[in-house]
A = this chain, B = another copy of it.
Amino acid sequence: MSPPFDNFAILAPGLLGASLAMTVRERGLARRVTVWARRAEVRQACAESAWCDAATATPEEAARDADFVVICTPVSMIADFAARVAPSCRDGAILTDVGSTKSLICRKAAAAMPDNRVFVGSHPMAGSEKTGMENARADLFVGRHCFVTPLEDTPYEAAERVVRFWRDTGMDVATVNPEEHDEIVAHISHLPHVLASVLCSQLDGKPADWPHYAGNGLRDTTRVAAGSPDLWRDILEQNREEALRAIAGFEDELHRLKAALRNRHDATVKSILRRGKEFRDRLT
Contacts and interface: CB of A to CB of B under 8 A. Distances in A.
B280 A232 contact: no
Most buried by B among A127, A198, A233: A198
A5 B56 CA distance: 71
Nearest to A212: B145
Contacts of A227: 277
A218 interface: yes
A228 to B, nearest CB: 8
Given A147-B213, A191-B199, A247 B258 contact: yes
B144 A204 contact: no
Interface string A246-283: 01111101100110011010100110111111111111
Q: In the complex, which range does the number of interface residues on chain A fall in?
A: 35 or more
B187 A225 contact: no
Contacts of A212: 145, 174
Q: What is the interface of chain A mostly: helix, strand, loop, or mixed?
A: helix
Nearest to A272: B201
B233 A282 contact: no
A211 interface: yes
Interface string A222-236: 111111111011001
Contact of A125 (B193, B197, B206, B213): B213
A277 B210 contact: no
A206 B185 CA distance: 12
Contacts of A243: 261
B215 A144 contact: yes
A50 interface: no
Contacts of A193: 217
Given A222-B192, A224-B220, A279 B198 contact: no
Nearest to A237: B266
9 contacts: A145-B213, A188-B213, A189-B217, A217-B224, A229-B277, A233-B273, A236-B261, A237-B266, A243-B261
